[in-house]
A and B are shown apart, each in its own frame.
Chain A
C-alpha cells in the first residue's frame, strides 16, 4: 500500500451525502425520531442507532463497565442463551454490531427485507431483555483483559493513551474505554446492569435508517424496537479543559520505530471559524499526498511512511491532533520538521493556490461520500448527534467555498500554538529528552 490508511473518527461527520439525496425525518407514533433515506434497490436495510455519552458515562471506579456491557449485550437475551442467540441471528443472516467509544454507544444493524420482522424482534431482545449471564460476562471479560494486555504492548496505543491521560487526567477522556486490568477484573454483574441502564435511554438516542423500508414502516419499527427503553439514563459528562503544555514526553519502549502522537487544544464544532480550520487542516496534514506534512516529512526526506493531523472536536473537549512514526534515529528530525510546519502555518497561513486546491478537493469529494446504505445510515446518525440541520447537505459546500485566505490566516493564528504543541513519543528515540 502506498499510503497508510488512517482511522479517522473525528472527521467522520464531514462525510455528508450529496444534496441530491432525499433525507426524511420520521417520528414514530410513540415519539421517537429518526432520519431516513429510502433506497429500495437492494432488499435490505441498514439501521444505525446511537446513544450519546457512550463510555464516558462510566461511574467512578467502574472504568470499563460500559465497554464490557457493550460486549456482553448480544451474549444471551430473553429466552435465548449466547449460542442460541447467535444461531438465531445467523439463521436470519442479520448482523448487529455493538460498539462503544468516548462519545457514543453505537449499534449498526443490517437485515434483509425478507425477514425484517424476525431480525428486528431478535435485536429487540438484545436491547430490551439482555441477560448478562455471569458466564457470558466472564467470557467477554477474559477477551477484554486479553485486549488490554495487548494494547499495553502496542506503541501507537501507548502513545495515544499517554497523550489523553496528560490532556484530560481523571475525566473519562483521560483513560481507555476498556478500563484497566484491575477495574475490569473487579466489575460485578450489578455493575454491568447499572451500565446498561445508564446508557441505553431514550433521552440520548439518535437513529439513521437507509434502505428498503418506508417512512411508515420505520415509524412502527422504532416503537417496537426501542419503545420499551427507559426515558432517562445517567447524567452526561461535564466539559473539560485540555491540560497540556508544550514540550515532549518520552515513554521508553523497546522497538525499532518510535511513534509520536502530538497536539494541543482544538476548536469547537460550532465555532464560527470551524470551516476555516477544516480547510486549513486539509492543507496541513489531512492525509492527502499534497499535504504539507506528507510533503516535508515523507516525500522530501523519507522520514516516515505516514504522517497526518486532524481536528478532533469531541462532545466535551476539543483537540487538534496528529501522529507520525519514524525509526528511533530519525524521529527527532521528523518532530523538528513538524514543529517548523506548525509555526509556519501559525504565522503565514496558506497560499492562494493551496486554498484553492483544498477547496476543490473538499467540495469535489463531498458528493462521493454516500456510497452505500450502511455508510449513509452512519452519516445520518452523526449529523443528528452534531445537531446539524436536515438540509445541511445543501449548504455545506458553500461554507467550504466561502473560506478566504484571511479566514485561514486568522484561525491559524488562533488555533496553531507552536509553544503549546506537545509530543508523546513511545520508543527509544535518539536526541530527544523529556521536557519536564
Chain B
C-alpha cells in the first residue's frame, strides 16, 4: 500500500529531530548505609508530595518448600503490632497525616509504600524502620489474618477461572523453579501457615542488607540520606543472609500442553508461554530484543503483526497479544495469546497463530513499524516523568531483580540499539516448542458432542 508507507514516512520524518529532555538520570541519586541498606532518591518538585518505598529482596520464590504464601502472609502481618505500635497504628498514623499506604508481594520482592506530604518523610521512615525488626505477632492475629488471605485467594484466584488457569500453566512452565508456585500460595498450604513460619521468613529477610529504599518526590537527596541514617542506620543487618540461588529448570524434553475447562469460561482462548532469558546486570541485550519482539509481533492491535494478520485482515481473532517482561531475578516467560472469533476452534486458532509467527520469522521486521515502536519507547521516557511513583516502582523492581541503577539507566539506549536482525534472532531463539507450555481455556466439552 503506497499511501500507507507514504504517510508513515511523512510522520516519521518529523522525528528526525526528536528532542529528549534532560534525562531522568539527572534527577536520580543513590547512597548506601553502613548496614547495607541501598537507597535511590528520585527528585520531582512539582508537588509537595513524597513516595516512600521500602523493598525487600525476598518474595515468594525465596520461600522454603511447604509454606507457599508465607511471604505474602507476612506482608499482611506487618500491619499488626510492633514493640512500639499497636495493630493498625501504622496505617492510622499515615492517614492522620493525610497519606495513603499499601504493600505488595511478588516472586522476587515484597514492598511497602506510603504517599504523604513531603515533610512527613521522617515519620514514615521511623515507622518503617520499626516494623523491619520489631513486629510482635499474637496467635489471634495469625488466625484472623489467615482467614483474610484465604478470602483474598477466593476473590482473586478461585473466583477468576482465568487466574486458576494461569496458576496451572505457570506450574507446568516451572517444573523445578519456585516461580511455579503461586505467590498467594496453594490453598492447602496457606491453611496451615503458622506464626513460626511467618517469623522465620521475617527474621531472615527483613533486614537492612536485604532491603532497597526508594524515595521519590519533593525531597533533597542530602536530607533523605540524613533521615535514612537516623532511622534505618541503627538497624542490625542479618548475618549470613542466604544467597539468592533458586533451583533452576532442567532441560525440557517433552512438549507441555494443558486444557483447562470451567463452566464459567465465557471466551475461550489459546495461550502459549516459552521460557525466556531475563534481563541480567550488564547483559540486557537479549532481553531488549525480546521486549521489542513482543511489541512488534503483538503490541498494538492495529499495527502489530498479530493485529494486522489476525484481527484486521482475516478477522480470525477478537484479541491477540505477545508479551514479555524481562525484569525477573531468574528465567522469565515470553507469551503469545489468541482469543478467536466464535467461528474458529481453538485448534484452528492455534494453527493460525503459529502460521503468522512462522511467516514473520521468514519475512523479517517491517522497518517503519520498528521505527514507530522505538519512537514510542523514547516518548515513554518523557511521559514517565509525569508519574514519579511509577519511576520509583521501576527502580525498586529492577534493584530487587538483580539489576543496578546503571542497568535501569542504560535500558532505554539498549532498547534503541536493537536491530531488525536482533529481533528475528531473538524470535528464532525463543520460539522453541520444546521450551513451551500451550494452554487451552474453554468450557467443559459436553458428553457425546464432538469437540470443535
Contact = CB atoms under 8 A, between A and B. Distances in A.
Contact of A365 (B98, B103, B341, B388): B98
Contacts of A114: 14, 18-19
A161 B143 CA distance: 35
A124 B120 CA distance: 45
Contacts of A302: 143-148, 151
Contact of A255 (B96, B117, B159): B159
Contact of B98 (A46, A110, A366, A370): A366
A288 B99 CA distance: 10
A256 B266 contact: no
A150 interface: yes
B376 interface: yes
Interface string B80-112: 000000011001100111111011110000000
A171 B262 CA distance: 34
Interface string B147-174: 1111110111011010000000000000
B147 A91 contact: no
A90 interface: yes
A139 B339 contact: no
A146 B319 CA distance: 10
Given A302-B143, A302-B148, A86 B266 contact: no
Given A85-B302, A288-B91, A365-B100, A91 B15 contact: yes
Contacts of B115: 368
A161 B47 CA distance: 39
Contacts of B146: 302
B144 to A, nearest CB: 4
A92 interface: yes
B204 interface: no
Nearest to A42: B385
B387 interface: yes
Contacts of A326: 151
Interface stretch (B205-213, B308-316, B399-407): B308-316
B248 interface: no
A130 to B, nearest CB: 15
A337 to B, nearest CB: 14
A146 B386 contact: no
Q: How large is the interface on A (under 10, 10 to 19, 20 to 34, 35 or more residues)?
A: 35 or more
A305 B266 contact: no
Contacts of B372: 87, 90-91
A214 to B, nearest CB: 18
A367 interface: yes
Contacts of B18: 114
Q: Which of B12, B145, B155, B158 has the most CB of A within 10 A?
A: B155
Given A44-B382, A146-B318, A289-B92, A368 B376 contact: no
Interface stretch (B3-11, B56-64, B330-338): B3-11
B389 interface: yes
B79 A2 contact: yes
Given A42-B385, A42-B386, A150-B266, A93 B91 contact: no
B57 to A, nearest CB: 19
Given A143-B319, A290-B91, A325-B154, A83 B383 contact: no
B117 A1 contact: no
Nearest to B46: A41
Contact of B47 (A2, A118, A146, A370): A370
B7 A255 contact: no
B75 interface: yes
Interface string B1-32: 00110011001101100110100000000000
Interface stretch (A100-108, A200-208, A293-301): A293-301
A303 B151 contact: yes
A257 interface: yes
Contacts of A43: 19, 21, 382
B267 interface: yes
B49 interface: yes
A138 B372 CA distance: 27
B345 interface: no
Interface stretch (A49-57, A236-244, A263-271, A371-379): A371-379
B379 interface: yes
A371 B49 contact: yes
Nearest to B151: A305
B144 A300 contact: yes
Given A91-B375, A305-B155, A374-B386, A364 B88 contact: no
A84 B264 contact: no
A88 interface: yes
Q: Which of A39, A85, A87 has the most CB of B within 10 A?
A: A87
25 contacts: A1-B104, A4-B152, A18-B48, A43-B21, A87-B8, A87-B302, A87-B368, A90-B300, A92-B11, A93-B376, A114-B14, A146-B267, A254-B263, A288-B91, A290-B92, A301-B147, A304-B151, A305-B148, A305-B151, A327-B150, A360-B98, A363-B98, A367-B117, A372-B386, A373-B386
In the A-B complex, the 5 residue pairs with the smallest Cβ-Cβ separation, listed nearest first, are A364-B98, A302-B147, A93-B379, A86-B302, A257-B154
